[in-house]
Amino acid sequence: MGSLGALYPSVVVTSDYRFDGISSSDNHPVLQGSLYWWRPNKTYAGLWASGVDYQDGGTSYEIDVYAGRHVDLKATRITLEAMASVFPDQATPGPTYDFVQAKVKVARPLGRGRLTGSAAFTPNASYTAGRAWRLEAEAAYPLSKTLTLNASIGRRIAERSPDRTFWQVGATATWRQTSLSVRYVGNSLDPDTCYLPRACKPAVTATLMTNLPGLPLGRRR
């Protein structure tokens, strides 16, 4: 790693891009990619992009820009992060899909596994949903060096849109720099209250990710 950290790119293909249990790709496969910058002082920043399909006549991609810092207290890691999500080619007039979010996450080991809890606040959520909170608990347990079980459950509470519980359970297999995750994903919304009824139905998703070689920045440490 260089004195200024390193850049870590990755490429992802997923069968269905799910956000809080709802499909953001109309149940279709999309390509995703990220560029993650890690510094030795435990600060980080990144850029993440994904295809989307909201059946609105043309919005086709999302870009997230984020930055944060880790604070380690013995075995517990606390992460503070800010993120902005934008949809540059939004096709609908009027209210925007764009939003900003502040998040705190706490993670600690539990036996061989790991537990994570997070809380995020959005002052003005997508499409005039108003103030919104997102709470989530996650668990990961390695069965071997290459296979890990994953599960999470969360709750989204918004000022002017239906609240929902969302969940996922599955497993991730890893080989060198590539991983394959298969998960069952769902949410508590009734299809009648969903902007696209088929987007809210539970589904099994598969995600293939490849981490490309990192690029050191600055002088070698």
pTM of the complete model: 0.93
Q: Which of 129, 131, 123 is nearest to 100 (CA)?
A: 123
CB 182 within 8 A of CB 15: no
Give me the pLDDT at residue 151, please: 98
Give me the pLDDT at residue 2, please: 64
Give me the pLDDT at residue 50, please: 98
CA–CA dist 10, 212 (Å, integer): 5
Q: What does the pLDDT average to over 34-42?
A: 94
214 vs 80, higher pLDDT: 80
CB 83 within 8 A of CB 64: yes
Three state DSSP letters for 126-163: HHHCEEEEEEEEEEEEECCCCEEEEEEEEEEEECCCCC
Domain 6-214 grouped into CATH 2.40.160.160: yes
Q: What does the pLDDT average to over 91-109?
A: 94
Domain borders along the chain are: 6-214
